[in-house]
Amino acid sequence: MATRNRKVRRFRGSRTHGWGQIGQHRKSGGRGGRGKAGLLKHKWTWTVVYDPNHFTHEKPKPPQRTIVDKWINVGQLDSIAHSIGKKEGNVQVLDLASLGYQKLLGQGSVNSAYKVLINSASGSAKEKVGKAGGELVLAAGRE
């Protein structure tokens, strides 16, 4: 639009430019307050659409939590042993830590005796590997 056709050109010399008396359409009241004002009141629809988590907070996290990204169950040891297991006497050695596994869990059952090297293991996993005649070797400093 050409500058000469704009509304503001027509109102040159008019104090309020069509917005009534005494500073209507001038300060922050014309936009519902400054900053985050009104997010629970008159700007609630904006809050719901554009910032729905504005009034929430993050749950507290334990200070020294350990996150296990990759784990394996006891029931899967037999299938892994066929592909990668190394013999050490009567027992096959499974180095799960070098495969990227961080924890051994106790779901399933063990058919053979294995010597398993891993960072950590659940109580039921330790029990099942022991009953099968195997051994569970944890990384240093873990139980």
Amino acid in position 21:
Q
* pLDDT tens column, 93-114: 999 989 999 999 999 999 888 9
The confidence score (pLDDT) of residue 124 equals 95
Mean per-residue pLDDT of the chain: 89
Q: Residue 95's closest CA among 121, 126, 116? A: 116
d(CA 75, CA 60): 35
**Euclidean distance between CA atoms 104 and 118, whole angstroms:** 7
pLDDT digits (tens, 9 = 90+) for 49-61: 999 999 999 889 8
- Sheet of strand 86-88: strand arrangement: 86-88, 91-95, 114-118, 135-138
The CATH class that applies to domain 71-138 reads alpha beta
Q: Do the strands 86-88 and 91-95 form a parallel or antiparallel pair, or are they unpaired?
A: antiparallel
Say if CB 103 and CB 124 are below 8 A apart: no
Whether the pTM exceeds 0.85: the reply is no
Confidence label for 72 from pLDDT (cuts 50, 70 and 90): very high
Under DSSP, is residue 36 helix (H, G, I), strand (E, B) or coil? Answer: coil
CATH 3.100.10.10 range(s) for the chain read 71-138
